[in-house]
Structure 1
Amino acid sequence: MKRIASTLLVAVFAGAITLGAYKYFFENTKYAVVSDDPGTSTFHTSLTPTSPNGSGLNDVDFTTAAERTVNAVVHVKNVSIGRSQPSNIMEFFYGQGSGQERAQVGTGSGVIISQDGYIVTNNHVIENATQLQVTLNNNKTYDAELIGTDPNSDIALIKIDTDRDLPYLAFGDSDNIKIGEWVLAVGNPFNLTSTVTAGIISAKARDLHMGRNQSFIQTDAAVNPGNSGGALVNTNGDLVGINTAITSQTGSYVGYSFAVPSNIAKKVVDDILEYGNVQKGILGVNTIPMNTPYAAKKGIKDIDGVYIDAVEENTGAADADLRSGDIIKQVDNIAVHQFPDLTGYLSTKKPGDEVKVTVDRDGEKLTLPVMLSEIQTLVVPEMGLEVKNLTDKERKKFKIKSGVRIVGVPERYRGYGLDGKILLALGDEEINDIQEARALFGRISNYGKTVITMLNEDGERERLIFQ
């Protein structure tokens, strides 16, 4: 027994000696000594208190918003008739020949906004449709009726009839959303129904330079083809935007997308239901875009706000004594830093509404009440012609009751002699005013021919055919 104890004790001592020798001779541990240098200054990089929960992501609950939204977002199918490419020169110029018509199917999303089946979507989702179908989240499919559309804002209103009340989303106030706020995009990308993606508000009042003076919400929630017309909601499940566009060289999501603000969409829907078209109110001022040769010539640059270049006669701006040289800084409680801030807010108003406009006039801040006027000119979709309502004097001169005057022509149509002529009809349909012109031109098909009837200064009728 003593021999065993002696042997164990020797083994323990031998192991200890071996380990100590290894540590001393073979391990080369490097230590850095931190000196207390009185010459080194210290400072605080931030005084912002941090959350004990880290980044805060775990504090956000998306499930409630998703549950409220998915059943109110629908799949929209658009069946339209297109024509094959011209097979000969006669068909190219005159629309005659052996080109065959064929059905084309497009898909997108829509948002139910009332329990009786009204659905808001994008105009480009339903344009040129010969048949519209809507599939709910429970896979039931219904035929849909087009109620009205506004190509300028890319908003359309359709309706389905069901025998039961439908889940729907309430419009939120898009003016109150904040940059950095969490949002969900809900739609049907690539025909994948009820898809929910999350992101934040990246920017507000974004102008995509699409020729419509539109103001978009920018977000980094993933949006792809098929999401158009779907819902952008906050974490409460309030509808704050209608997903509309992406900017991409590939046609798919690359990190940011754009939505029509809910306040604009709601105003368009209300106008369609009440008037049958969109009532747009204007201040009555001409502005100068920044960073343009004209702005440089006028010596205007680096302005925080919107510079008024001229005030139109017989408008609310003229009555309120807005002047050339004023810089618009605020409208009601909306700060105006750039042109889309102004147009985005005014898009939620109609003629007759009064807004308080705060301007900087030679360093002095003035707040003036302005009654919005009815728009007299607009740019029609597709062809891009700027048209103006006829005056009583013009109707009397040409002995006509309907028509609009062409006052602006884009570069690609300059050689056709359109400027200044009276536009009477598009195809077989008469044009009574600029709103009707916008609606008719918004239905132009890219696959057919466009026939316009005009009146020149001598009162002679002219017809032009565009392929």
Structure 2
Amino acid sequence: MRQTLLKPASTQTRARHIGRDGVIHLLGAVALVAALLFSMGAQARSAPDSFADLAEKLLPAVVNISTTQQIAGQTQGEAPRLPPGTPFEDLFRDFFDRQQRNGNRPHKVTSLGSGFIIDKSGVVITNNHVIEEADEITVFMGNGDKYPAVLVGRDPKTDIAVLRIEPGTDLPTVSFGDSDASRVGDWVMAIGNPFGLGGTVTAGIISAQGRDIRQGPYDNFIQTDASINRGNSGGPLFNMDGEVIGINTAIFSQTGGSVGIGFAVPSSIARTVIDQILTFGRTKRGWLGVRIQRMTEELADGFGLGHAEGALVSGVTDGGPAADADIRAGDVILSFDGKPVREMRELPLLVAETPVGKVVDVEIWRQGKKLTVGVKLGELEEAEQSAALSPGGPAADNGERKIDKLGFRIAPLDDEMRQRFNVAEDANGVVIVDVDPNSEAAEKGVRPGDIIVEVQQEPVSTTKGVTDRLSEIEKEKRKNVLLLLQNGGELRFIAIGIGEG
């Protein structure tokens, strides 16, 4: 890329009219200006004069992808019943019969997307949603050549698919760059097949990073204002060195057209997924075996942490890696394999990217102390297949009580209550039977039928146990009480204020 450097305006110096001190001051000023200009040039990469050279180099490795899906015919139901002798009876019957015959015919549906070649032998990358449920996949090169493609493997969780074509000759390729090295404000270029128009180049900047758009468990998208439209899915997002730092995947739009907000899977995630698919034909993600929730300032106070950080463990899978390492519900995971966990959603990404079978150090916060435990990771896909991720449950009860400070009424979890609130047989604790609609508990989603499993990280089995534990917490002058609630097999922590004010 051509880079324009700022240059100072030329000046003529007549030394004979300047004294010794004046020369020293003048030289000092020139040195200062030069230093400032050099600093500006070093810190800010100027806008390119043109993207043409870069686009010309990269376009041959970007492909268009066409898919075809066979849709079975569907019956249209019975013809409307008309009174015998109705003047248009025959006309209606003929029309309906034609519709029925046409509707029963199988027909094909086609869709278009984008992709790019990463290996000269014919490995093509695209989005999973581009090829999902396709019966036929065809890859079109920029020069007009086309090849049938076979699916090597796909990953719906990150929306990535790997295809292979057999060109019989070496193909142009592009390579991945380091998305973690990219910064907000960097220039980027997208190439794809918007609206089926063929190779199209758009440019813009990275407008945000680490976006969670609720598309999957590993959302960590690059956001860009480079125009991305329908048909761009699966195409590459390049940095100014011509490296792929993202796979264009989604747009934010109410019309389906670009409004300057597009999202790309970062190469830091895509490379791991692609390598696993090429090696194993599927993904093999690390598995820790915990259910987690987001830390809040109130929860942090309840756990004695200085501020909200880490991922709060709300449940542990029986027989999983975390359970074997004695990680417990109520632990706060602060770091994983030497990498800090600043917020909840960072942990699944770190675990998934770690090789199966690796022993990692996990730093946790438990009962006011930091501990480090070693965990040997399992395989997520294997656990999902064996249904090992079904939630487990934690303890029984005596005497209904109203707890005004918390804004709800509790009762023993007996057979009557289990039937009333449809509570599973293996659930243990104290059941909440009524919640004050104006209470903080109601604001935080506490509902009748929720089971109190723990109060301030200690199991409770009776209503008296709840009130006794609450009294102990009040004596400690805590601002919040920490409750572990269970509903429908799901566990979650909440913090409810009990201190003055």
Which category describes the TM-score, using the shorter chain as reference length?
Answer: 0.5 to 0.7
Check whether the contact 2:158–2:218 (CA below 8 A) recurs between aligned residues.
no
Q: Which residue of 2 aligns with 1:108?
A: 113
Q: For the residues of structure 1 that align with 2:266 and 2:358, how far apart are their CA atoms? A: 20
Aligned 8 A contact 2:285 2:381 in 1: no
Matched, 1:389 2:379: no
3-state SS, counterpart of residue 278 of structure 2:
helix
Q: TM-score, normalised by structure 1?
A: 0.62
Aligned match of 1:126 = 131
Equivalent residue in structure 2 for 1:308, among 310, 313, 318 = 313
1:117 to 118, 122, 126: 122
Distance in 1 of aligned mates of 2:385 and 2:272 = 23
Cα deviation per residue 1:10-63 (whole Å; 9 max; x = unaligned)? Answer: xxxxxxxxxxxxxxxxxxxxxxxxxxxxxxxxxxxxx99973799753368745
For 1:70-149, what aligned pairs fall within 5 Å after superposition?
70-83=59-72, 86-88=75-77, 98-149=103-154
Asked if 1 retains the 8 angstrom alpha-carbon contact of 2:189 and 2:201, the reply is: yes
Matches of 2:211 and 2:362 in 1, distance apart?
Answer: 21
Match of 1:317?
322
One-letter code of the match for 2:228?
V
**Residues 318-467 of structure 1: matches in 2 within 5 Å?**
318-332=323-337, 334-361=339-366, 368-375=373-380, 389=386
Aligned residues: percent identity?
Answer: 40
- Aligned partner of 2:187 among 170, 176, 182: 182
Point out the more displaced range, 147-156 or 209-218.
Answer: 209-218
Deviation at 1:219, TM superposition (A): 2.2
The answer for the alignment partner of 1:57 in structure 2 is 46
Q: Displacement, 1:148? A: 1.6
- Deviation digits for residues 184-228 of structure 1 (CA, Å, limit 9, x no counterpart): 222111123222222333333322223544332222222111110
Range that drifts further, 201-210 or 80-89: 80-89
Tell me the residue number matched to 2:203.
Answer: 198
8 Å CA contact 1:243, 1:258 repeated in 2: yes
**Is it true that 1:172 corresponds to 2:177 in the alignment?**
yes
In the aligned structure 1, how far is the partner of 2:208 from the partner of 2:222? 6
Counterpart of 2:279 (choices 274, 278, 298) is 274
Instruction: Tell me, in whole angstroms, the C-alpha distance in 2 between the residues paired with 1:187 and 1:157.
Output: 17
Deviation at 1:336, TM superposition (A): 3.1
CA displacement at 1:388 relative to structure 2? 5.1
- Give 5+ residue unaligned stretches, structure 2: 1-35, 80-99, 393-423, 425-501
Report the count of equivalent residues.
Answer: 338
Could you tell me which residue of structure 1 aligns to residue 219 of structure 2? 214
Paired with 1:117 and 1:329, the residues of 2 have a C-alpha distance of 43
Gap regions ≥5 residues in structure 1: 1-46, 91-95, 379-386, 392-404, 409-418, 420-467
Write the distance in 2 (CA, Å) between the matches of 1:316 and 1:406.
15
- Helix, strand or coil: the match of 2:274? helix
| Distance change in 2, residues 1:348/1:53 (3 Å) | closer
Deviation at 1:234, TM superposition (A): 1.6
Contact 1:198–1:221 (CA<8 Å) still a contact in 2?
A: yes
In the aligned structure 1, how far is the partner of 2:372 from the partner of 2:210? 22
Following the alignment from structure 1 to structure 2, what is the Cα–Cα distance between the partners of residues 168 and 84? 41
Distance (whole Å) between structure 1 residues aligned to residue 130 and residue 104 of structure 2: 25
Query: Kindly tell me: are residues 82 and 185 of structure 1, through their superposed partners in 2, closer, same or farther at Cα, counting changes over 3 Å?
Result: same
Q: Distance in 2 between matches of 1:112 and 1:216?
A: 21
Deviations 1:245-290 (A, max 9, x none): 1122212222211112223222222222222221121122210146
Q: TM-score, normalised by structure 2?
A: 0.58
TM-superposed deviation, 1:297: 11
> CA–CA distance in 1 between the matches of 2:364 and 2:303?
19
Q: Which residue of 2 aligns with 1:237?
A: 242
Q: Separation in 1 of the partners of 2:110 and 2:63? A: 16
2:183 partner amino acid: K
When residues 67 and 372 of structure 1 are mapped into structure 2, their CA distance, relative to the original with a 3 A threshold, is farther
Equivalent residue for 1:20?
none
Q: Distance in 1 between matches of 2:289 and 2:38?
A: 48
